[in-house]
Amino acid sequence: MQRVAAALALAVTTFCASAQNYPTHPVRMVVPYAVGGPADIYGRYIATKLQEALGQPFIIENRPGGGSIVGTEVVAKSPADGYTLLLMSNTHTVNETLIAKKPFDLMRDFAPITGINSSDLVMVINPSVPARNLKEFIALAKSKPGVLNYASSGPGTPYHMAGELFKAMAGVDIVHIPHKGSDQARTAVLGGQVQMMFDAITTMAGQVHAGKVRALGTTGKQRSTVLPDVPTIAEAGVPGYEATIWLGLMAPHGTPRPILEKLNGAVNEIINAAEVRDAWAKQGAVPMGMSIEEFDKFLRADIQKWAKVVKLSGAKQD
């Protein structure tokens, strides 16, 4: 018994020392989305700051495809040692309902670390569309059911679900045109191949200011400080409408708790710094720092929220 107790004590001591020294070599952060979108941009920022804080490279690996399924599966099958992390979004909580057959279950196969940030979306149209405001766009869509279309970065993404929720609440028939990434969807709208898109304010505001697209409404409860002249969709013609995009960090299930706590503390310190909060506010992003338990509760609530939206909209995987 003494030998067993000694062995257990040694194992615990070794484990704690290992977690305390984490990381001792480069960490891979998988972003299951294409280059250029909010997840990629903010993921790279967080990776750079974590490298500065923890002394080892945090390497971004973009693995887009399948509405985030491809890259997420890579992380689910990785060792639970803290050296492979998942940069995720509400695409993941939507997919728990939208996609019945997945090679993973979010709350079973992953461990929450913390939220990163959230931002509103903006509904934009190509200037060639003959609608000056949201009510005119809705009237146009109702006069031509199944003719207008909207772009997204794939099934289950915030851009897709914002569009499906809009269709259901506005009572219009608009065709979903999925793309492999938000950058491709954005390009399609800018080029006029697709009429409309819901995009993150953080990445589309510049195009609005430049006059390359026409903003019809933002998706938050209040007007965006980045686009203060653009009404919310709720006030512009679809009462009660609301949709956002948020980002978070998870690890494979079984990752040692001390490592999760170390990452949680490091990320929260980064995103709660005054200079970061100020910079993100100018971009339309709000830090979401929270404890592991708070993020776990947030994820479970978001899964339930989007399950109701999927049912309401009748959305299906394309």
Domain boundaries, the chain: 25-118+245-313, 120-236
Number of alpha carbons in the 13 Å side-chain half-sphere of residue 252: 18
Helices (H), 198-239: 201-209, 233-236
Fill in the amino acid letter for 276: V
The pLDDT assigned to 309 comes to 85
Residue 182 DSSP class: H
Dihedral class, residue 30 (left if φ above 0, else alpha if ψ from -120 to 50, else beta): beta
The token pair at 307 is 């399950």
d(C-alpha 29, C-alpha 58), whole Å: 7
Task: For residue 22, name the pLDDT band (cuts at 50, 70, 90).
Answer: very high
The pLDDT assigned to 5 comes to 52
Question: Percent of the chain scored above 90 by pLDDT?
Answer: 84
The pLDDT assigned to 313 comes to 79
CATH architecture of 120-236: 3-Layer(aba) Sandwich (3.40)
pLDDT digits (tens, 9 = 90+) for 56-115: 999 999 999 888 999 999 999 999 999 999 999 999 999 999 998 899 999 999 999 999
The pLDDT assigned to 28 comes to 98
* Section 225-240 average pLDDT: 96
pLDDT digits (tens, 9 = 90+) for 124-143: 999 999 999 999 999 999 99
0.95 exceeded by the pTM? no
Q: What is the dotted CATH code of the domain comprising 25-118+245-313?
A: 3.40.190.150
Q: Is the pLDDT of residue 171 over 80?
A: yes
Rounded to the nearest integer, the mean pLDDT of the chain is 92
Task: For residue 11, name the pLDDT band (cuts at 50, 70, 90).
Answer: very low
Q: Is the pLDDT of residue 188 over 60?
A: yes
Identical fold for domains 25-118+245-313 and 120-236, yes or no, is yes
Q: Is the pLDDT of residue 156 over 50?
A: yes
Question: Percent of the chain scored above 70 by pLDDT?
Answer: 93
The token pair at 93 is 């909580």
Nearest to 56 by CA among 27, 21, 89: 27
d(C-alpha 108, C-alpha 94), whole Å: 15
Nearest to 232 by CA among 277, 201, 187, 269: 201
Comparing 249 with 182, the larger pLDDT belongs to 249
pLDDT digits (tens, 9 = 90+) for 264-300: 999 999 999 999 999 999 999 999 989 999 999 999 9
